[in-house]
Structure 1
Amino acid sequence: MTDPQSTGQDYDVVISGAGLAGSAAAILLARRGARVALLERRSDPAAYKSLCTHSLTANAYPVLAELGLVPALEEAGAVRNEARWYTRWGWIEPRAAPGGPALPYAYNVRRSVLDPMIRSRAAGTPGVDLLLGHQVSGLVREAGRTVGVRASTPEGEREIRARLVVGADGKESAVAKSARVGGRQYENGRFGYLAHFRNLPLPGGIGQTWFLEPDMAYAFPNDDGVTVLAVLPDKKRLPAFREDLESSFLAFVRALPEAPPVDSAERVSKITGTVNYPLHSRVPTAPGLALIGDAALTGDPLWGVGCGWALQSARWLAEAVAPALTGGGDLDRSLARYARRHRRRLGGHQKLAADFATSRPFNPVERLMFSAAARDEALARHMYLFASRLIGPLRFLNPVAVAKASRVNLRHRGPARARRAPGGTAA
């Protein structure tokens, strides 16, 4: 391992943000020999992100396994995230093929459990210094490169130098703003509110998602018997929600097909949410700097992919840059590899999400695939792999799958099997 002091740096890496992405990156980089400063603006080691889907899609499972978190999640009561999805053609209900392997999974778990768990794991990893109460206030730059950060601490301002600065500080990333990295913003035509409930039974005990075109909703069972219930209506409904949030929230839920029995459940949290949640896509690297998690790409919360992408991007970065950081290699080339992988793996997903965030109804291709998946188990499994972000848009819409969907629908000509959803359109 390179001695940071011998190169004029305090650390090999300084990471801003000790949430999912930052803590995962710290663990994975330190295990590969890097000396890491993990900065967290909050002083409470049990702090957590409250506005979240609380879902780790199946693409995150390999990262959770590498971090050694799977046994701890199981012990904490995290729920394996099976799901079914309502459409105007009926329910899409992915199931394992008879005699085939089980469907891939990860977990639904509240961030109040997950965030302290992974942060504690990072703090206990040799090579990681967790610095609580350290808020990045600016970057240290020399000759066009980022070479460290300035941080506000309880003891005053502090400068911390490193070969690499990582922004893992969320969609409003101070690191990204200070570096003035380029990017794009996509407006979201929906707003969202969620609340936590106990004793809210769901069919099959699994997650439910409602595609109501354009409105959305989901219910995800989590640890300790708590279910996260969220509504994501078109912004045309916003005036009613602003006038009476609780009544509008409950009325929306009651109108859902096979609605969860919300009136007999115990609400154990406030109804919280946001009326404006744009999607961000930023250039994930600059000289001496990398962005991971929401700092690099903020997806639409209705898909529940943010946590999985945070963990994946942390792993991609560690794999790309660790050899350069610990062996004196070319860091810029390593960062370029990370940027290419990030763009290749997530760019197509984000493009589709940004288009759907305009709050439009399904387009013809989506109508083809969703209707066929409601009628055919193999296509339901295929859609599950895409929703779990285990395959990308090109594999999801490959010619064989599209041809099969066309054949399935030709065999099912006739009236739609599901009743019209509130605010929906006819099949």
Structure 2
Amino acid sequence: MTNDYDVVISGAGLAGCAAAILLARRGVRVALLERRSDPDAYKVLCTHSITANAHPVLDELGLIPALEKAGALHNDARWYTRWGWIEPRSAPDGPALPYGYNVRRSTLDPLIRARAAQTPGVDLLLGHRVTGLVRDAGRTVGVRTSMPQGDREIRARLVVGADGKDSAVAKFAEVPTKVHENTRFGYLAHFRDLPLHGGIGQTWFLEPDMAYAFPNDDGVTVLAVLPDKKRLPAFREDLEGSFLEFVRALPEAPPVDSAERITKFIGTVDYPLITRDPTAPGIALVGDAALTSDPLWGVGCGWALQSAQWLAEAGAPAAAGRGDLDRALALYARRHRRGLRGHQAMAVDFAKARPFNPGERLLFSAAARDESMARHMYMFAARMIGPLRFLNPAALAKAAAVNIKHRGAGTSPAR
């Protein structure tokens, strides 16, 4: 059997394009398939934010100058809690806080897709929808596609599913999947000329409801509400009125009535969290195809880029025929699980639309009262540290000491 390519990737979104570029730069021949025919197509339902953990991937891709030229903004942020605002700042004698970017997918997706199409070794095949997998001796060795000109079979050593939370590749391969209920729903819209405090992103932890406002490129702000599903009947009856009423009631609410809404309200009433095995024989999953988290955390873009980089680092030599592919996929799967499963477990628990638990009350209240704890919270929110470092004994002890000090000063302790 001969291969048409070393790797075939289903999905030319953020994860698929990043994987294609990084694999091709390592000598891999890549077919990058996209079911949509428009090279400027983009994902609509998204937080439009890239967490700081993905900054090194953007740097390796060479996209940072182009993003900044396109108006992408550093995603600094502040968060409202019942103890007040958490406002992370760099230490006076320390390094600047790491940052990612807020950028609309209508800007980001065409940019990275064009970069992938220009990369030697990548063939961008638009209008190709994966309709099945080619199997041989119990492993996947290619895909079947449908396109306007007819059906086609494309063979490769490795098939990569970068086709989102409803991944066709994962379904055809019967990859083990866990689906976790999300008891919040969400709607967002884009507004122009919506001023925000400090000109930076805002997130509201209302226990259990959530909201965020992220400034983006071209003077546009993404405003989202993520209420408990108990509020769903009212939103179904009057979406616009309920959305605006929710926003007006926020502490330090952005003046939504004076801004121009430039998109329709976009959202979903059911957005489960999905966890899949990131590999199967001859298959790797990246981005939302491997792990779909709660949109309130805004981690999807960052994890898409990181998982693409991890796959390229672990799998490129074997994909090009210079190593053991199964071993390479095992290395990728281990790195993916170690890097993201702990974050996902916490997101699954928080998706139950509950108030803060005792540990969260301890840390969030301390972060609202102490700059070093605010920085610690920021590092976790930016996914620069994992749950074990976030919840390490020293951090918990520091948080307890901060709260005891404030209780002694006459302020209300964490409840």
TM-score normalised according to structure 1 size: 0.96
What is the distance in 2 between the residues matched to 1:161 and 1:106? 36
> Is 1:239 aligned to residue 233 of structure 2?
yes
Question: Which residue of structure 1 aligns with residue 140 of structure 2?
Answer: 146
> Is 1:212 aligned to residue 206 of structure 2?
yes
Question: Which residue of structure 1 aligns with residue 402 of structure 2?
Answer: 408
Instruction: Write the mapping of 1:277-288 to structure 2, written as runs, cut at 5 A.
Output: 277-288=271-282
> Is 1:260 aligned to residue 217 of structure 2?
no
SS of 2:41's partner is: coil
Instruction: Write the mapping of 1:352-371 to structure 2, written as runs, cut at 5 A.
Output: 352-371=346-365
Q: Percent same amino acid at aligned positions?
A: 80
8 A contact 2:78–2:88 mirrored in 1: yes
Which AA in structure 1 matches 2:145?
A
Which AA in structure 1 matches 2:346?
L
> Is 1:397 aligned to residue 387 of structure 2?
no
Give 5+ residue unaligned stretches, structure 2. none
Which AA in structure 2 matches 1:130?
L
Question: Post-superposition, which runs of at least 4 consecutive aligned residues in structure 1 deviate over 4 A?
Answer: 414-417
Question: Which residue of structure 2 aligns with residue 198 of structure 1?
Answer: 192
Kindly state the Cα deviation for residue 328 of structure 1 after the two structures are TM-superposed.
2.4
SS of 1:66's partner is: helix
Instruction: Write the mapping of 1:74-113 to structure 2, written as runs, cut at 5 A.
Output: 74-113=68-107
What is the distance in 1 between the residues matched to 2:392 and 2:175? 34
8 A contact 1:181–1:286 mirrored in 2: yes
8 A contact 2:30–2:123 mirrored in 1: yes
Question: Which residue of structure 1 aligns with residue 324 of structure 2?
Answer: 330
Q: What whole-Å deviation, never above 9, does each CA across 1:71-119 have from its counterpart, x for those lacking one?
A: 0000000010000000000000000000211110010000000000000
| Superposed CA RMSD | 0.9
8 A contact 1:88–1:416 mirrored in 2: no
Instruction: Write the mapping of 1:260-339 to structure 2, written as runs, cut at 5 A.
Output: 260-339=254-333
Q: What whole-Å deviation, never above 9, does each CA across 1:142-180 have from its counterpart, x for those lacking one?
A: 000000000001111100000000000000000000000
Which AA in structure 2 matches 1:52?
C
Give 5+ residue unaligned stretches, structure 1. 1-6, 418-425
8 A contact 2:406–2:412 mirrored in 1: no
How many pairs does the alignment contain?
Answer: 413
Question: Which residue of structure 2 aligns with residue 169 of structure 1?
Answer: 163
What is the distance in 1 between the residues matched to 2:412 and 2:38? 52
Kindly state the Cα deviation for residue 326 of structure 1 after the two structures are TM-superposed.
2.4
What is the distance in 1 between the residues matched to 2:154 and 2:82? 55
Which AA in structure 1 matches 2:337?
R
Kindly state the Cα deviation for residue 315 of structure 1 after the two structures are TM-superposed.
0.3
Question: Which residue of structure 1 aligns with residue 18 of structure 2?
Answer: 24
Question: Which residue of structure 1 aligns with residue 216 of structure 2?
Answer: 222
Which AA in structure 2 matches 1:388?
A
Question: Which residue of structure 2 aligns with residue 119 of structure 1?
Answer: 113
Kindly state the Cα deviation for residue 323 of structure 1 after the two structures are TM-superposed.
1.4
The correspondence for 1:131, drawn from 113, 120, 125, is 125
What is the distance in 2 between the residues matched to 1:296 and 1:28? 18
What is the distance in 2 between the residues matched to 1:325 and 1:59? 26
SS of 1:52's partner is: coil
Which AA in structure 1 matches 2:122?
V
What is the distance in 2 between the residues matched to 1:272 and 1:116? 20
SS of 1:403's partner is: helix
What is the distance in 2 between the residues matched to 1:24 and 1:328? 22
Question: Which residue of structure 1 aligns with residue 153 of structure 2?
Answer: 159
Which AA in structure 1 matches 2:213?
A
Q: What whole-Å deviation, never above 9, does each CA across 1:377-400 have from its counterpart, x for those lacking one?
A: 001001100000010000001111
What is the distance in 2 between the residues matched to 1:304 and 1:416? 31
8 A contact 1:284–1:290 mirrored in 2: yes
Which AA in structure 2 matches 1:166?
V
Which AA in structure 2 matches 1:63?
V
SS of 1:412's partner is: helix
Which AA in structure 2 matches 1:112?
S
SS of 2:320's partner is: helix
> Is 1:344 aligned to residue 338 of structure 2?
yes
What is the distance in 1 between the residues matched to 2:412 and 2:344? 30
Question: Which residue of structure 2 aligns with residue 50 of structure 1?
Answer: 44
Report the CA distance shift for 1:103/1:260 in structure 2 as closer, same or farther (over 3 A): same
What is the distance in 1 between the residues matched to 2:131 and 2:86? 47
What is the distance in 1 between the residues matched to 2:153 and 2:143? 6
8 A contact 2:57–2:305 mirrored in 1: yes
Which AA in structure 2 matches 1:344?
R
Which AA in structure 2 matches 1:151?
T
8 A contact 1:18–1:168 mirrored in 2: yes
